[in-house]
């Protein structure tokens, strides 16, 4: 006869509001095999856990059901609690009466009935639970960091500083990411390059860090501690071991008018190029889509001028395979496209701002390039159309952000600050110029942020206009910005020489596909999901994969760096032991009944099942069966469903348990 304890949580009011917890406790107490049934306001708290521990000893329980939130939330908490009373953790189960019941129902009577059903089902299951013991697997103490922006760089440096090997993969020819394109940073106005480039050099120089630029992660397999990854090293067409970065090749390249991605289209680059002079590594790559050698099999000038013979037109993409124990995803962000061409149907764009038509309507990153000492104008603010120094500049905040009509509801968080910075830097460079800022609210929460905005207004004479812009049109060689001033309740028209749009931060256009590829989740807008919005902000729901930087949500440099260091310390934590305990929820083949039809081997999505030979003591092959690799099995149960002879069972979810649950549901 079983001795089960049922523990019902009110979750403050979350559950008690809709479920009659006292009645649930009373009804659960009547179920066969239940020795004790109690309810409490916060079962996850210390007194709540103690109730469970005491009851196990007092009533000599051999099974526990906690009726509370989702097991995602607190199963580990309660299992750890029962262990303290000497019970095997897998004899403790949760009945989810919050997400599956109280949160989604309004009728108290019916919700309580459903909660009783959910508890009864779990009681029947627990009666059939068996003690399970964790599987121990070794940890590969090497980390993969995806993305070489400031977040990825920080994570890689921190993990390496802890003494572990790191593989850093960057899609572009150089590390540095978006931060390398910025001029000066708020709220201190220190130069972005000056604080970033030393870190870029460090990443390249650290012997524990293997850097792959111009490379992409193609495939991630395996599980925490034991990932197998494939990295595609795109053909650079330049042998990096021989090249000394002298620059003869890109100086002589005849294709000089390719819009530079780094300068956001305001400057030009050649077909063989380094994205910017401070690039790391300082070896060029050939952009085959624009190179005459690849387009028409002509030219070949770079190979002729290279004194070291480093140019290799025959170079092929290479697939690099690596084993890593942890992954930090730091893939960064993109900017909202302002015009009509949008990557999805929800985003509408702002045709009325004429971004695609008027050269002097630019976005924030383009203005950064105009301000940057290494930019296309060497840091002089000159407008793209005719190179004139603009005497009035209109900055428009929230272009895309906080505008559900155009498809983005969230706040991009950094724009209020960088718009203030832009206006300030413009004023520092053009003393007789007038900056205007159209804004909705000023969100300057952060250390020294509000002070910074005040400085822009009070010391630099930036004119803030609270209201939206309805359109921008050309009049002569000026732009007329038509908008509302909601503080004076009037329409305003500003004549500006240059308009800068603070566009929303959006996920990479292939963020969703990449999330699927590596097995993590992303929200509806495409930013990657953290495991818990408050308590586990750097972990993903996939063990061993962590997030850093703006791929998770819009954030500024200090936040991105903080999260990167946090992710790195999570990796160090994982690497601090030699073995990892894995959940023993894995499939097992009954070798006596297995007929080796190989169905399970074919359907396993993790390639965790293999053939096994059964031999007699003389070594003669008797027959073949299937065998599950416990290290690789993810416990999905596909093989159980596919087995025609019922020879595969999933520990913790065997047929007996599942059928008992179903039968309990039918009981009235």
Partner 1 sequence: MKIGYYPGCSLHGMAIDFGKSTEATCEALGIELEEIPGWSCCGASAAHSTNHLLGLALPARNLSLAEEAGFRSVAAPCAMCSNSMKKTHELILSDKETAAEVARITRREYRGGVTVLNAIQIFLEYGLDELAKRVVLPLKGLRVACYYGCLLTRPPDLLKFDDAEQPVLMDEVCKAVGTEPVEWGFKTECCGAGFSMSRTDLVCELTRRILENAVNNGAEAVVVACPMCHSNLDMRQANINKMFGTEFNIPIVYVTELVGLAIGVKPKKLGMRKHFVDAMRLTKRLSAEPQEEVARAS
Interaction site with partner 1 (CB under 8 A): 340, 348, 350-352, 354, 357, 471-476, 480
Whether the Cβ atoms of residue 9 and residue 118 lie closer than 8 Å to each other: no
**By C-beta, is 289 or 405 nearer to partner 1?**
405
Spatial distance between the Cα atoms of 51 and 78, rounded to a whole number of angstroms:
11
Whether the Cβ atoms of residue 527 and residue 553 lie closer than 8 Å to each other: yes
Spatial distance between the Cα atoms of 379 and 582, rounded to a whole number of angstroms:
55
Q: CB of 489: closest distance to partner 1 in angstroms? A: 18
Whether the Cβ atoms of residue 537 and residue 546 lie closer than 8 Å to each other: no
Spatial distance between the Cα atoms of 597 and 646, rounded to a whole number of angstroms:
12
3-state secondary structure 369-385: HHHCCCCCCCCCCCCCC
Q: CB of 396: closest distance to partner 1 in angstroms? A: 14
Q: CB of 265: closest distance to partner 1 in angstroms? A: 19
**By C-beta, is 313 or 473 nearer to partner 1?**
473
**By C-beta, is 340 or 623 nearer to partner 1?**
340
3-state secondary structure 230-298: EEEECCCCECCCCCCCCCHHHHHCCCCCEECCCCCCCCEECCEECCCCCCCCCCCEECCCCCHHHHHCC
Q: CB of 359: closest distance to partner 1 in angstroms? A: 12
Q: CB of 499: closest distance to partner 1 in angstroms? A: 13
What's the token pair of residue 281? Answer: 């590594």
The distance in angstroms from the start CA to the end CA of the chain is 22
**By C-beta, is 304 or 340 nearer to partner 1?**
340
Spatial distance between the Cα atoms of 4 and 65, rounded to a whole number of angstroms:
7
Spatial distance between the Cα atoms of 148 and 152, rounded to a whole number of angstroms:
5
Spatial distance between the Cα atoms of 598 and 637, rounded to a whole number of angstroms:
15
Q: CB of 358: closest distance to partner 1 in angstroms? A: 8
**By C-beta, is 442 or 472 nearer to partner 1?**
472
**By C-beta, is 256 or 471 nearer to partner 1?**
471
Whether the Cβ atoms of residue 506 and residue 408 lie closer than 8 Å to each other: yes
Q: CB of 348: closest distance to partner 1 in angstroms? A: 8
Report CA-CA distances (Å) from 463 to 3, 14, 184. Answer: 73, 47, 21
**By C-beta, is 321 or 352 nearer to partner 1?**
352
Give kind and range of the element (H or E) at residue 212. Answer: strand 209-212
**By C-beta, is 352 or 579 nearer to partner 1?**
352
Q: Which of 353, 430, 432, 429 is nearest to 395 (CA)?
A: 353
Q: Which of 511, 556, 550, 529 is nearest to 413 (CA)?
A: 556
Q: CB of 515: closest distance to partner 1 in angstroms? A: 31
Q: CB of 504: closest distance to partner 1 in angstroms? A: 17
Give kind and range of the element (H or E) at residue 512. Answer: helix 511-518
Spatial distance between the Cα atoms of 70 and 44, rounded to a whole number of angstroms:
12
Give kind and range of the element (H or E) at residue 517. Answer: helix 511-518
Q: Give the single-character DSSP code of 509.
A: T
Q: CB of 479: closest distance to partner 1 in angstroms? A: 9
Whether the Cβ atoms of residue 360 and residue 499 lie closer than 8 Å to each other: yes
Q: Please enumerate in sequence order all residues whose Cβ is within 8 A of that of 24, keeping only pairs 6 or more positions apart, or say none.
A: 8, 39, 67, 97, 112, 115, 116, 119
**By C-beta, is 332 or 349 nearer to partner 1?**
349
What's the token pair of residue 541? Answer: 């729901």
Q: Please enumerate in sequence order all residues whose Cβ is within 8 A of that of 530, keeping only pairs 6 or more positions apart, or say none.
A: 536, 537, 538, 539, 540, 547, 552
**By C-beta, is 357 or 516 nearer to partner 1?**
357
Q: CB of 135: closest distance to partner 1 in angstroms? A: 55
Q: CB of 362: closest distance to partner 1 in angstroms? A: 17
- HSE-CB at 310 with a 13 A cutoff on CA atoms is 23
Integer-rounded Cα radius of gyration of the chain? 31
Whether the Cβ atoms of residue 92 and residue 78 lie closer than 8 Å to each other: yes
Q: CB of 403: closest distance to partner 1 in angstroms? A: 12
Q: CB of 491: closest distance to partner 1 in angstroms? A: 12
**By C-beta, is 458 or 475 nearer to partner 1?**
475
Whether the Cβ atoms of residue 199 and residue 241 lie closer than 8 Å to each other: no
Q: CB of 187: closest distance to partner 1 in angstroms? A: 35
């Amino acid at each position: 006869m079983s001795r089960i304890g049922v523990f019902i949580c009110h979750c403050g009011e979350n559950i008690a509001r809709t479920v009659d917890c006292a009645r649930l406790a009373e009804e659960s107490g009547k179920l066969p095999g239940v020795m004790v049934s109690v309810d409490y306001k916060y079962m996850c708290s210390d007194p709540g856990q103690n109730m469970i521990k005491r009851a196990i000893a007092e009533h000599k329980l051999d099974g526990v059901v906690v009726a509370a939130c989702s097991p995602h939330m607190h199963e580990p908490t309660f299992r750890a609690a029962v262990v303290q009373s000497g019970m095997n953790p897998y004899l403790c189960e949760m009945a989810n009466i919050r997400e599956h019941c109280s949160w989604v129902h309004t009728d108290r009577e019916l919700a309580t009935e459903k909660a009783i059903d959910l508890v009864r089902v779990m009681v029947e299951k627990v009666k059939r639970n068996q003690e399970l013991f964790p599987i121990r697997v070794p940890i590969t103490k090497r980390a993969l960091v995806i993305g070489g922006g400031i977040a990825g760089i920080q994570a890689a440096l921190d993990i390496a500083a802890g003494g572990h090997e790191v593989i850093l993969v960057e899609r572009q020819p150089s590390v540095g990411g978006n931060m390398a394109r910025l001029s000066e940073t708020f709220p201190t106005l220190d130069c972005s390059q000056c604080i970033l480039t030393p870190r870029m050099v460090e990443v390249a120089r650290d012997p524990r860090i293997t850097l792959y630029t111009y490379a992409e992660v193609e495939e991630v397999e395996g599980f925490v501690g034991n990932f197998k990854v494939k990295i595609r090293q795109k053909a650079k067409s330049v042998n990096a071991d021989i090249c000394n970065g002298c620059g003869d090749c890109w100086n002589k390249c005849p294709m000089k008018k390719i819009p530079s991605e780094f300068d956001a289209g305001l400057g030009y680059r050649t077909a063989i190029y380094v994205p910017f002079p401070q690039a790391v590594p300082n070896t060029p790559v050939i952009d085959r889509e624009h190179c005459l050698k690849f387009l028409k099999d002509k030219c070949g000038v770079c190979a002729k001028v290279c004194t070291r013979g480093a140019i290799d037109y025959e170079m092929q993409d290479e697939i690099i395979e690596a084993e890593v124990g942890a992954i930090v995803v730091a893939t960064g962000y993109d900017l909202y496209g302002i015009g009509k061409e949008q990557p999805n149907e929800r985003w509408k764009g702002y045709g009325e701002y004429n971004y695609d038509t008027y050269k002097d309507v630019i976005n924030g990153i383009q203005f950064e390039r105009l301000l940057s000492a290494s930019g296309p104008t060497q840091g002089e603010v000159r407008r793209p159309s005719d190179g004139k120094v603009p005497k009035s500049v209109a900055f428009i905040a929230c272009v895309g952000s906080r505008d559900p009509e155009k498809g983005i509801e969230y706040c991009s968080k950094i724009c209020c600050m960088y718009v203030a910075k832009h206006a300030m830097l413009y004023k520092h460079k053009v003393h007789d110029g007038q900056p205007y800022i159209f804004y909705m609210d000023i969100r300057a929460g952060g250390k020294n942020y509000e002070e910074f905005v005040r400085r822009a207004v009070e010391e630099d004479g930036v004119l803030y206009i609270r209201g939206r812009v309805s359109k921008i049109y050309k009049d002569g060689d000026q732009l007329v910005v038509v908008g509302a001033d909601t503080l004076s309740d009037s329409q305003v028209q500003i004549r500006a020489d240059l308009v800068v749009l603070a566009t929303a931060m959006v996920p990479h256009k292939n963020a969703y596909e990449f999330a699927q590829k590596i097995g993590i989740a992303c929200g509806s807008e495409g930013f990657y999901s953290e495991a818990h919005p408050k308590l586990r902000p750097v972990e993903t729901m996939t063990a061993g994969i962590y997030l850093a930087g703006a791929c998770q949500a819009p954030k500024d440099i200090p936040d991105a760096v903080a999260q990167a260091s946090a992710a790195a310390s999570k990796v160090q934590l994982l690497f601090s032991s030699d073995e990892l305990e894995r959940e023993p929820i894995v499939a097992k083949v009954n070798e006596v009944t297995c007929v080796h039809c190989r169905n399970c081997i074919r359907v396993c999505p993790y390639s965790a099942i293999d053939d096994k030979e059964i031999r007699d003591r003389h070594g003669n092959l008797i027959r073949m069966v299937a065998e599950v690799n416990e290290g690789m099995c993810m416990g999905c149960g596909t093989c159980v469903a596919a087995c025609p002879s019922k020879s595969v069972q999933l520990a913790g979810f065997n047929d007996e348990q599942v059928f008992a649950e179903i039968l309990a549901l039918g009981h009235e």
